Structure 1
Amino acid sequence: MNAVPSPSGRAWLLNALITVVLWGFWGAFSSLSPEHGFPETLVYCVWALTMIPPAFIALRIGGGRLDRSPRAIAYGMAVGLLGAGGQMVLFYAVTRGPAYLIFPIISLSPLVTIVMSFAFLGERTGKLGIVGIVLALIALPIFNYSPADGGSTSGAIWFFLALIVMLCWGVQAYFMKSANNYMSAEGIFFYMMIAGLLLVPVAWVLTDRSQPINWGWDGPALAAGIQVLNAIGALTLVFAFRYGKAIIVAPLSNAGAPLATAIISLIALGVMPGMLKVVGLLLALAASVLLAIEPDAADETAESELEPSTI
């Protein structure tokens, strides 16, 4: 690629904020399809299909050339399979244990990304970034703790399954950043799309057909309209990792998205969060602000060596 400096040192922040907003809307409305009788496993199938248009559009905008080297394929498929594979494990985990404990564990996946990026990529941040990271890691489990969810338990298997999902998504974010050092962001997302499609048969098999399935417009069509927000948000997240440090982007996107969801749910759906959620919201807000203004958040390598491209 050409050594063209980025037109803005905040390209990572623009893409991260787009992800936060899109995932905020997706989070606020993602439960509508299952509530209308369209199983979450089939929602996954629809999500995988919604990855196709943005993948091809991004690749075309980026020049239409896909890196087919063994290293690019390995990195791209690793990112995709870790994300989609973690989702498959999550489908099973929530049938074996309490969701109100599983999701707080999974929400700590940025901690895995931070440790790996610190150790293997040599990423560092300033005092504001450190405080923001700590606040985000505190806010995430609070956001995802919902005692009312209940859930059946089966020994301790759910705990290990939750750890697997946490590791999958944490390592995925690390590889997403690492892969940007060797291939284009458009190529990474394209392989993510391929990996997501490969696991569609697994989600199809996991679907409980003993219950009626809604195949009407408020089933798969509604799911597609909602899940495309997730897909585009995943694309902009790849660009955020391209230009920004993983130790900043991971906690910002993971804390900012539920914050946006809470605000959108309050405005659009009139859903008032409980006191615990309010505490999480305030912590996430403080974390997001600190991470956004952190002066050392941009990746100098990406800024100076990679050709700029923002979706």
Structure 2
Amino acid sequence: MREDSAKPMGQGAVMTPARAFLIAVIGIATFSMMDAAMKGLVLATGVYNAMLWRGFVIVPLAALIHFARGPAMPPPGVIGLHALRGAVSLAMGMLFFWGLARVPMAQAISLSYIAPLIAIFLAAILLGERVGRASIVGSLAALAGIGIILFGQSRSDLGDAAMWGALAILGSALCYSYNLILARQQALRADPREIAFWQNGFVLIGLLSASPWLAVVPPSGQWPAIGIAAVLATGSLMLLAWAYRHGEASYLAPTEYSSFVWASLFGWLFFGEHVSPWTLAGALCIVAGCLYAARRKPQPFAEAEIQNP
């Protein structure tokens, strides 16, 4: 057991499920801001270079935060878990950002909602978590909202590029459903600072393997956006890791639906993307589903219960 991560933040500290839920929502909002920054970068430099150069900023930033406290080296089993989630995150990110550059942000997010729906049931299979009635009903309400959005979008012609973008996002969603389960397993064995460093480090290693053929140094004017995307990515990862450390994956997964509201806002602010009445109606269903799912009353999760091998 590593003492630095096994000790509670305070004697007898109990982290309530409601607080974990709120932190997860904030993490999703931060993640959506990063999506907007990355969409601009992908349009300017391509998905590979946007992710590569963002990684060169994220990893030193995460290292500074992680190693400032003098942590012990993670056990091999935990390193393997970081590597696995890094590989899944790399595939997920490449597919998602490639698709995001070809469809409106609101559509991209609505398609990605298949992930938390799958994750709720994966949590029951892989983690042995109970799938509560509120989680099921909330997810069904959100699914109805997605159906409304997709019906409205089917009435407009976005072209072949949008079709391929949608398929890429659906592929990313399949990766993300497993990523949510890994997030819970990872958060129970490492703290958010460790996760942010090692996971991003493995993503960067994967990207560097193709750098002799694909890497292109971006112009100086794009570095501020790269830095902003890196800070937002690191912050969102740490917030979500904290939330999943203190709440069950099946309970927190519905918070993913709140990203639709943020994606609609940022898409409109930064890219002039308009939200149709169909999209607004679907968003209301999604938010209602999230709020209903949050009514579930799991047992408080004490940080002192978390132990690392």
TM-score by length of 1: 0.76
Tell me the secondary structure at the aligned position of residue 86 of structure 1.
helix
Take 2:269 and 2:296, find their aligned partners in 1: how far apart are those partners? 29
1:1-311 to 2 correspondences below 5 Å: 1-2=6-7, 4-9=11-16, 10-35=18-43, 37-60=44-67, 63-89=69-95, 106-139=112-145, 148-151=157-160, 164-201=171-208, 204=211, 207=214, 215-217=219-221, 219-252=222-255, 254-266=256-268, 271-296=273-298, 300=301, 303-306=303-306
Residue type at the aligned position of 1:6: A
Per-residue deviation, 1:178: 1.4
Per-residue deviation, 1:43: 1.2
Cα deviations across residues 32-69 of structure 1 (Å, max 9, x unaligned)? 3344x3322211113323322552354247x4314431
Cα distance change of structure 1 residues 203 and 86 upon mapping to structure 2, 3 Å threshold:
farther
Question: Percent identity at matched positions?
Answer: 18
Take 2:162 and 2:26, find their aligned partners in 1: how far apart are those partners? 37
Per-residue deviation, 1:273: 0.6
Cα distance change of structure 1 residues 45 and 149 upon mapping to structure 2, 3 Å threshold:
farther
Cα deviations across residues 184-237 of structure 1 (Å, max 9, x unaligned)? 33322222111111122356467597xxx86131x2322322342133112211
Per-residue deviation, 1:238: 1.3
Take 2:98 and 2:45, find their aligned partners in 1: how far apart are those partners? 17
Per-residue deviation, 1:285: 1.7
Q: How many residues align?
A: 293
Give 4+ residue runs of structure 1 displaced > 4 Å after superposition.
89-95, 98-106, 140-148, 161-164, 202-209, 264-271
Take 1:202 and 1:89, find their aligned partners in 2: how far apart are those partners? 17
CA contact (8 A) 2:82 2:198 kept: yes
Question: Where does the alignment leave 5 or more consecutive residues of structure 2 unmatched?
Answer: 1-5
Tell me the secondary structure at the aligned position of residue 297 of structure 2.
coil
Take 1:140 and 1:45, find their aligned partners in 2: how far apart are those partners? 32
RMSD: 3.7
Take 1:250 and 1:262, find their aligned partners in 2: how far apart are those partners? 20
Question: Where does the alignment leave 5 or more consecutive residues of structure 1 unmatched?
Answer: none
